[in-house]
Each structure stands twice: as C-alpha cells, then as structure tokens.
Structure 1
Amino acid sequence: MILVTGGAGFIGGNFVLQWFAGEHNEPLVNVDKLTYAGNLDTLSSISERDDYFFEKVDIADEAEIKRIIAQYQPRAIVHFAAESHVDRSITDPGAFVRTNVVGTFNLLEQARHYWNDLPEPQKSEFRFLHVSTDEVYGTLETNDPAFCETTPYQPNSPYSASKAGSDMLVRAYYHTYGFPVVTTNCSNNYGPYQFPEKLIPVVILNALAGKPLPIYGNGQNIRDWLYVGDHCAAIRLALANGRLGETYVVGGINEKTNMEVVHSICTILDEVRPRDAGSYAEQITFVKDRPGHDARYAINPEKIQTELGFKPAHTFETGLRETVLWYLNNNEWITRVQTGEYTQWVDQHYAQARGV
C-alpha cells in the first residue's frame, strides 16, 4: 500500500491514474481535502477499484492523519498536497502557510512516529517522497545557469516561501531523525486535468470562449515546461531508486516565454478548431504584472538523468498538442470543475489586473 496526499489535484491525480495504468499491482490510498482545485471527477475511471481508497481529510488534521496511517499502514508516502497558485498566495497567504508548512509538518510527524515502530525490513524499506517546486530557488536572469540541487533558496512569493519551508522541514527530518525522505523540485507542469487557473488551460478555455487571453506584463517571463506524465514518471523513479536525503530537480528542458506558449496554443487551435475569421492570437490581452513575478525558471536535470535514468518522453510541441486536444475532448470535466467559486475568483482577479 502507498499513501498519496493531494491525489485529486492536477499532478497527484495524474500520478494516481498512471499508477494503476502501469505495471503496479499495489493498493493506493488517496488523502485529499478537496479544496476548489481537488476534483474527484479526474479519478472516476478508477474510483470503483478494490485496491483504491479515498479519504477526504486535511493533512493539517493531526488525529485524522494519525488514524489513516495506522489504518492503511503504507510502505511509502508520496506527498503532493499543497496550495500551489501564486496569485492566490498573494491575496491569501495564510492558507498556503497552513497547508504547505503546517500540513507538511503534521504529515512528517505522524509518519515519523509510525516509521519508528515498524519492524525490519519494513522500516528500512519505508519512503517519504516530497514533491516540491523550482520556484523555491527564486528567479534567474537570461544568461544565468539553470537551477540545480545546490542552488540557494530565494523564494519571492508567499507560495514559494511556504514550499521552501516545507522543503526545509523534510530535510531536517532526515538529518535530525534519519527519517527516509526524498525530495523532488519540478518545473512548470502542464497536461490533462490541470485546474483552469494556470496559464495553459486558461488560454485554451478563454480562446474557445472568445474571451481575452491574459498575459502578465510584456509576456517575456520564461518557464521550463514539463509534461505532467513525464513528471509522474520521474517521481516513480525517485520513489523506487532515489537516494535517501537527496533532492532531484526535474525539468522538461523546454524554456519558453509566456508569449511563445500562448502563440503556440493559438497556432494549434487555429489548425484544429479554427475561428470563423482570424487567429485566436487576436484575443491576446496584456494585464498588469503581478507583484514579485519571477523573470525566468530553468532546470538542469543532469542528476536525475544520470542517477535514475530519467528522460522526458515529450517535447514541448508534442505535449502541448496532446494537452490542447485533451481540453477540446473533455467538455464534461471542464464544465464540472468550473464551479462558481472558481469563476468568481477569475473574474475578480483579472478585472483587478486590468485596472477595472
């Protein structure tokens, strides 16, 4: 049995689906609070399996996490659960501290007590894999070397600061208690089932709806884009073979400006779902840049490639096309995930960004 936190979210949901689609015959319990970004529709295809279990629980709930670990007795924990949207962290930083810092501490503490009491060989085989972000490293200038595992932490938003805090707790539990942890820090993910507040799904859905395609500032912010399926493959490798106490940065080796990403989406849509007249690029709208907006992220994945044999299966072009086609073919999922809460937040946020 493995325990996954945040398995109804974007990356966690893809991980759970791939777990059962692959060669694994091991049961899995999914612990998710089901905030606005948690969506059980993502997991509808596996929800009736006898080896899949779901617990609607906040990871900051000490008693419930203790109960779940004792009940399911996992041989590993894969920790995705996090508040992850930078814009929301600016308006409500407290929620990010509670989930990302306090929640991770509670999960570590309950897992440590459980691990302490395990007999051998289960104790030596237990793993806690913590999934984090490259945003903890701050920002890069155009010619700076890419982030690697030894890059100093310089978080610039409440979101990245809260994830940096969780990373430090995980590190401390290894060095203080010998707790068997592995950490991964990934670049920007994209792909199926991503909640439509992030750049790529926002642009796809706004384009189809005839709405403005919002781009912060001048659109020259650079991100390294990683297809979510490739990220999940890297996590499985780190879980199986990662060295204890080590960090592995995971990237797609696909640096693109936001403007390049948006134009690429418009080009694909122009081909597969053309407008009545003109290009979707005509809907591009520039909005006021957000505070503390990092200029560039880039990942040097040499360590995970060399040690664990990781190699992304997707280029940005193939992954983006698959993503656009997925959103075009999954209207029911999109409709159900776009709750009133989400729609109200988007309308309010981008109205403020445009100075309305």
Structure 2
Amino acid sequence: MTLLITGGAGFIGSAVVRLAVSRGLDVVNLDALTYAACLDNLAAVADAPNYSFVHADIRDADALRNIFARHAPHAVMHLAAESHVDRSIDGPGAFIDTNVTGTYHLLEAARAHWEGQGRPDGFRFHHISTDEVYGSLGATGQFTEDTPYAPNSPYSASKAASDHLVRAWGETYGLPYVITNCSNNYGPYHFPEKLIPVVILNALAGQPIPVYGKGENVRDWLYVEDHADALLTVLQNGRTGRSYNIGGENEARNIDLVRLICAILDRLRPRPTPYGDLIRFVTDRPGHDLRYAIDPTRIRTELGWRPSITLEEGLERTVRWYLDNEPWWRALQSRDGVGTRLGTA
C-alpha cells in the first residue's frame, strides 16, 4: 500500500508516519512546512526506503495533481491543518484557507485520481478531525458519532466544515472515506505552544505556568502514539462512509493535569521549591469549551481498539522525553508566537 499522508511533519502526522513506515507501508509525506512543522520529528525514518517527503501545500491544486499522478497512492490520510485554538481567535482567515479550502483541493485531487484509476473499491480517503467540532459538554455526558456539531471557535468551525466537505464528496461523488474525531493528543514532539509542553518548558525555565480561568476545563487526553495506532486501524479496517471517535479514556481537569506534571518534574528534576509554586491563573480565552469527553464504544466494539497508555504513564513518558530532547524544543522556541499569549481578543 502506498499511503499519502498530509501534514506528516507535524505533531500527530509525524507519529503516524513513523508508525506506518515501521509497519512496512510505503509512505509519501506531503507537508507545507509551516511554523508548527519540524522535519526533525522524522529523523528516525528519513532514510527508510519506504519513506519519501514532498514539500507542497494542500492549497496548491496543481501540485496536488502532480503528486497523485507521480505516487498513485492507494489511500490518503489527511492530517494537514491549522490546529491551535488561540491562533484561530487572533487570525481565523488562515484556518479557513487551510482547513476548508485546502481540504476541498485535496478532495478534488483525490477524486480525480480515484476516478482516473477506475474507482477502485480499495481506495480510501481518511480525514482526521477533532472532538472540538461537537462543542462543549456539561459535567456529564460524552460525545458519540451522532452528537450534533456545535463548534465554538474558529478552529473547530473550520474543522467541522472540512468534515462536512468529506462527507459530501462521499455522498455526491462516491469517494470512499472514513472520518475520525479524536480527543486532545499529547506526547513526544508536541509543538511548544500547547498546554502540556508549555507547562513543562515554563517549569524548567522557572517561569510562571499559565492556567486559563480557574483550570476547571476538562479534556480527555490521548497519547499520540496510541492515536497513530488507532488511525491506522481505522484506515485499514474501518467501514467506508463511517466516522469513529477516538478517545484516550483519560479525563482530567486542566489544573489537575498541570499539578500532575509538576509532581513528575519535582521527582525527575527537583529544584529548591516545588514547581507547583509557579502556577498562575490567567484570564480565560473567549469561548473556552468547558468539557470534552468521548464515548469510544464504536471503535472498541467494531474494530477492537482501545488506548493502551494511562494518563499517568503517558505524562511520565512525555516529561522524560522533553528532559532528554532539549535541542529539539530549544530550536523551536524562536518560532512565531511561541512563548507569547495568544487568543485574548
């Protein structure tokens, strides 16, 4: 199988690339190398004979046509996206441009390729999305695949729009597709603007650890390598035209998550005073969803998949990875917006 992965130099995308290459799939990684991409994420597979990289943008229709003609993929895994909610508040246009228009161009290129190949049954367009398209939960309940969409940020609205485009291309043109909506990812190679790496790196620098509002927002945390395994499971075994929610089965309040990271750092890299003393509550971001939680029944019962990493184990691995890979994150700290509070409009 030749697999075209978009956004394969990003956080989740690179985890998928590494796993797919290790399992012997022929992987073509298409990435525009925007601010959050890092080819160092792929050092472990860069010289593998079943891996190739193409520097291109999903908004470039001509480039996409050439890539499909040259590589003739049997499947597409679409992970390329603008993904940081705070950035979407400050600059929503980039999210519409990439997540909506870019997805449209990719769908059209995939459809032309699929039709040109005689509409093979084995072709698959796998669109990777987020649980944020469902909006916000109260203290109880979980998102299912039938939960109505109710996005509350420019980011989640752009992802909801891209989900709808994929479904429409399936219903209108017959393009074989699957969609997955995941909970919050974390783990190695996480770009240092998201909550968990911000906590780790601010703590190591002795800087205030910002927690939005009162830290009571709840997320379900999914270790990125578990997510990569789930995505390949859905790609290869999921039912065409089906959506699957992928959760970590690890709900936690933000403040509890931050305190757990601080406790791990207290043990692994002790300092004179506890890292928890650096926690500071800051003004919440606009439209901050209270709680996300995923009902994983469908993927568990239909495909036999469930996460293997607990939150405590995953955070321990993640903290150790950042402690052991300082050159990786040091090189990214000068990139646009890193270390700056965004999304306060």
User: What TM-score do you get using the length of structure 2 for normalisation?
Assistant: 0.98
1:116-265 paired onto structure 2 within 5 Å: 116-119=115-118, 123-143=120-140, 145-265=141-261
1:274-353 paired onto structure 2 within 5 Å: 274-275=270-271, 277-343=272-338, 346-347=339-340, 349=342
Amino acid corresponding to residue 253 of structure 1 in structure 2? E
Contact 1:36-1:342 at 8 Å conserved across structures: no
Amino acid corresponding to residue 286 of structure 1 in structure 2? F
Secondary structure of 1:55 counterpart? strand
Secondary structure of 1:125 counterpart? coil
- State the Cα RMSD in Å: 1.2
Cα deviation code 1:132-180 (max 9, x no counterpart): 000000000002x100000000000000000000000001111111110
Amino acid corresponding to residue 124 of structure 2 in structure 1? R
Cα deviation code 1:172-224 (max 9, x no counterpart): 11111111000000000000000011100000000000011000000000000
Contact 1:31-1:57 at 8 Å conserved across structures: yes
Equivalent pairs counted in the alignment come to 344
Cα deviation code 1:10-60 (max 9, x no counterpart): 000011111223xx2221110001111000011112112222111111101
Distance in 1 between the 2:222 and 2:66 partners? 35
Unaligned runs of 5+ in 2: none
Distance in 2 between the 1:232 and 1:290 partners? 29
1:68-87 paired onto structure 2 within 5 Å: 68-87=67-86
Distance in 2 between the 1:340 and 1:232 partners? 26
Identity of aligned residues (%): 55
Amino acid corresponding to residue 36 of structure 2 in structure 1? A
Cα deviation code 1:102-157 (max 9, x no counterpart): 0001000110011012147xx111101000000000000002x1000000000000
Contact 2:21-2:50 at 8 Å conserved across structures: no
Unaligned runs of 5+ in 1: none
Distance in 2 between the 1:173 and 1:339 partners? 40
Distance in 2 between the 1:15 and 1:318 partners? 20
Q: Which residue of 1 aligns with 2:268?
A: 272
What is the deviation of 1:338? 2.0
Amino acid corresponding to residue 86 of structure 1 in structure 2? V
Secondary structure of 1:297 counterpart? coil
Distance in 2 between the 1:348 and 1:215 partners? 11
What is the deviation of 1:348? 5.1
